[in-house]
Amino acid sequence: RQLAGDDREIRLQWQERWKGVKLSMSRRATARRTVRLQPTTPQGSEVGGTTDPPNQLSSRDGSKAVTEARKAAARILDAAHYEAQEILFSARQRADEIVQAAERMFASTASGRPHLFPASARLRSRDSLRIVLMGPPGGGKGTQHRFLTKELGVPSVHLGDLLRRNITEGTDTGIAVKRYIDQGLLIPDELLIELLRPRLAEPDAERGFLLDGLPRNLAQAELIDEILALDAKSVDVVLDIEIPREEAFKRYAGRRICTRDSSHVSHTTYAPTKRYGICDVCGGRLALRQDDSREIIGMRWEAWESSAPPIIEKYKTEGRVTLISGLGPVLDVTERAVNAIAECLD
């Protein structure tokens, strides 16, 4: 259970292995009982043309059954143990990567450097740095925008944050948005843009921003261009972060959110907590989000595949798209992103 967490598919696989172990143990116990309960007959009686005692024959058969059961149980346990070691090794390896990334970040801060990568200096010196983050569900946009914000010196503008902020503050737009959410309806494009418009007009976004969560369709992309054009601005570059579908499923299936503070996130494979099911930061209970189920992830991936191509094609024709792989350690992807953005704008 600790290894599988809330992943139903993995849990079922481990349950099947455990059934195999219990079956072998049951066979072994049955074989032992058979040996003990065999009737004895006088030595020398003929059984099947031999002069061996019947209880001796039964004992040999029972011992053989016990040996086979032991071997079968050992094989199953060895296989389970090997897979457990593989999972733990992967988790430790990922933890080491996170620690190394933190150490690099700390070393950079301690040395007084404002950024980690050489290309960051060129990007920080630009008058305009308006970036749209794109990529499939699980591509790493949520992770990368935190690192890129610090590296490039521009604020992160995230759709989810905008929704929560407006709903919490009870703005007119927030009230209208909540009405759609409560009814399970899609939020109209114009309403989402109304959420975005005042945020992009705030002083910290004057030079640039990292936009995550929008646009989700071609109409939204065109509306964003329109509101930026009112101030003679435009999107400078679109960073498209790509990963394989199965990697996305793996990332979401292992993600755990703290029930006390949703900003505390861990991963059963890549960033496991010290105590299973308990948040390392605040001690809250960890849970798998309903939206992270395999079925919902599949639906979100299909929605992405149908909506993304027209958006990407629009920005490609304008020469504003740069594509990178989202695989690998977090800071490696960050460096890849910084270099790609710089190359696209040079």
Distance CA 276, CA 171 (A): 40
CA distances from 115 to 98, 152, 249 (A): 18, 8, 32
List of E strands, 151-276: 156-158, 208-212, 237-242, 255-258, 265-267
Catalytic residue among 141, 199, 256, 336: 141
70 catalytic per annotation: no
Catalytic residue selected from 28, 255, 256, 336: 255
Q: Is residue 141 annotated as part of the catalytic site, yes or no? A: yes
pLDDT at 87: 65
Residue 111's pLDDT is what? 46
The pLDDT of residue 30: 73
Q: What is the CA radius of gyration of the chain?
A: 30
Contacts made by residues 221-225, CB under 8 angstroms, sequence distance 24+? 221/311, 221/314, 221/315, 222/314, 223/189, 223/190, 223/193, 224/132, 224/193, 224/196
Measured CA distances, 62 to 45, 51, 56, 75, 202 (Å): 20, 19, 10, 20, 81
Instruction: Please give the Cα distance from 22 to 11 (Å, whole number).
Output: 16
- Give residue 84's pLDDT: 67
Residue 207 near residue 127 (C-beta atoms within 8 A): yes
Determine the topology of domain 119-158+208-345 in CATH: Rossmann fold (3.40.50)
Q: Residues 130, 199, 216, 336: which is the catalytic one? A: 216
pLDDT of residue 255: 84
* Predicted pLDDT of residue 300: 86
Residue 300 is a catalytic residue: yes
* Other residues' Cβ atoms within 10 Å of the Cβ of residue 217: 16
- What is the separation of C-alpha 202 from the centre of its chain, rounded to a whole number of angstroms? 32
- Residue from 122, 178, 289, 316 carrying the catalytic annotation: 289
CA separation for the pair 177, 162 (Å, rounded): 11
Q: Around Cβ 30, how many Cβ atoms within 10 Å?
A: 14
Return d(Cα 14, Cα 12) in angstroms, integer: 5
* H or E stretch at 159: helix 159-169
Among the listed residues 122, 150, 207, 300, the single catalytic one is 300
Interatomic CA distance for residues 297 and 245, integer angstroms: 10
> Closest by alpha carbon to 162, among 188, 192, 138?
192
Dihedral of alpha carbons 182, 185, 187, 190, sign:
negative
pLDDT by 10s per residue, the chain, length 346: 555 555 666 667 777 777 777 777 777 777 666 655 555 444 444 444 444 455 554 556 667 777 887 888 778 777 776 666 666 666 666 666 666 666 555 555 544 445 578 899 889 999 999 999 999 988 888 889 888 998 999 999 999 889 989 999 999 999 999 999 888 888 999 999 999 999 999 999 999 999 998 999 999 999 999 999 998 999 999 999 999 988 888 888 888 888 888 778 888 887 888 888 899 889 999 988 777 777 888 888 898 999 999 999 999 999 999 999 999 888 899 999 999 999 999 8
